[in-house]
Amino acid sequence: MTLIEIETRIAAPVERCFALSLSIDAHAASMGASRERAVAGVTSGEIGLGEQVTWRARHFGLTFRMTSRITAYECPTCFVDEQVEGPFARWWHEHRFLAEEPGTLMLDRIEFAAPFGALGRAVERAGLARYMERLILERNRWLARELEG
């Protein structure tokens, strides 16, 4: 399993960072390069505890579908989304939001595992982990621009 931890500072209140991070529309806008879009479940607005969304996106020239559910929710400090169906053997993403002058420290902790056992672990080491980290960093830069702009 791979662990990714990312810290992002955003000059905006915790409540705004939390809400925009739960926005299906914001997520889709931040993932323009992969043409990610919500195709089932909650498909627009803010997603909440126990709700699911199915995403369709293009990565590595292939189309993927992933359904995730919000499995933990503590407004406005934390939520967790977990894959319930999709391309990973495991996908767990904790989003934490801490008030910090002059705004918010956003902490992402992602645990994931590619399918196919040893072959999947080799793919993770060969570049999947870096690719996933770049996607999260890109999304966080988009959130910061929207919230600070």
pLDDT of residue 24: 97
Per-residue pLDDT of 64-97, as tens digits, reads 999 999 999 999 999 999 999 999 999 999 999 9
Q: What is the pLDDT along the chain (149 residues), one digit of tens a residue?
A: 899 999 999 999 999 999 999 999 999 999 887 789 999 999 999 999 999 999 999 887 888 999 999 999 999 999 999 999 999 999 999 999 999 989 999 999 999 998 888 877 887 788 888 999 999 999 999 999 999 98
CATH label of the domain that carries residue 95: 3.30.530.20
Residues 72, 76, 82: CA angle, nearest 5 degrees: 25
Looking at residue 32, its pLDDT comes to 80
Q: What is the model's pTM?
A: 0.92
Which pLDDT belongs to residue 126?
Answer: 80
Whole-number mean pLDDT of the chain? 94
Q: Give residue 128's pLDDT.
A: 86
| Count of domains observed in the chain | 1
* pLDDT recorded at residue 124: 76
Q: How far is CA 51 from CA 5, 54, 75, 117, 129, in A?
A: 24, 10, 15, 29, 27
Domain that holds residue 48: 2-148
Residue 147: per-residue pLDDT? 97
Cβ burial of 10 (10 Å; 0-12, 13-18, 19+) is: buried
